[in-house]
Amino acid sequence: MYTMSRINLNTNHQDYVRYIFLDIVAIFRNNATMKQVFSMHAEVCKTLANPKRLEIIYALKEGELSVGELVKKLGIPKANISQHLAILRQRRVLVSRREGVNIYYRISNPKIVKACALMREVLTEQLMEEGKVVKKAKVG
């Protein structure tokens, strides 16, 4: 794992990134670790393979919301949204806190939002490309 012993106050950003990268490479050279990470990755993808859950993540990208606020914002019945929230929490995509009678949810790691946004960008580009292909087919 990454240790601070290689870093001193004079270490520049490029060296810092290189040290972290080398540590990550060392971790992934261990085939058992790679298999474990791939397995975890597949589980997260299964969790995110539901449009309602993706809507919930998108709604929470700006910060935490209560169950009631999510119901209002997304128009999903409370029982249904509660099931999805429980799954997202179990898979550690979301974390929750209780305040009185309300339960608030937030994204556990901002990189989850970035990953989802990146996938949406890819899909948007694909849709745009398909649109170009359809236009060419109609013209041709």
pLDDT in tens, 122-136: 999 998 988 876 666
The two three-digit tokens of residue 68, written as one number: 């009631």
pLDDT at 18: 75
Label residue 11 by pLDDT band (50, 70, 90).
low
Collapsed DSSP state (helix, strand, coil) of residue 95? strand
Given a contact cutoff of 8 angstroms between Cβ atoms, the answer to whether 104 and 65 are in contact is yes
The two three-digit tokens of residue 16, written as one number: 């810092």
Q: What is the pTM of this model?
A: 0.71
- Kindly list the domain boundaries of the chain, sorted by start residue: 1-47
Euclidean distance between CA atoms 32 and 132, whole angstroms: 44
Tokens 């474990």: give the residue. Answer: 36
Instruction: Give the chain's largest Cα–Cα span.
Output: 64
pLDDT at 121 exceeding the cut of 90: yes
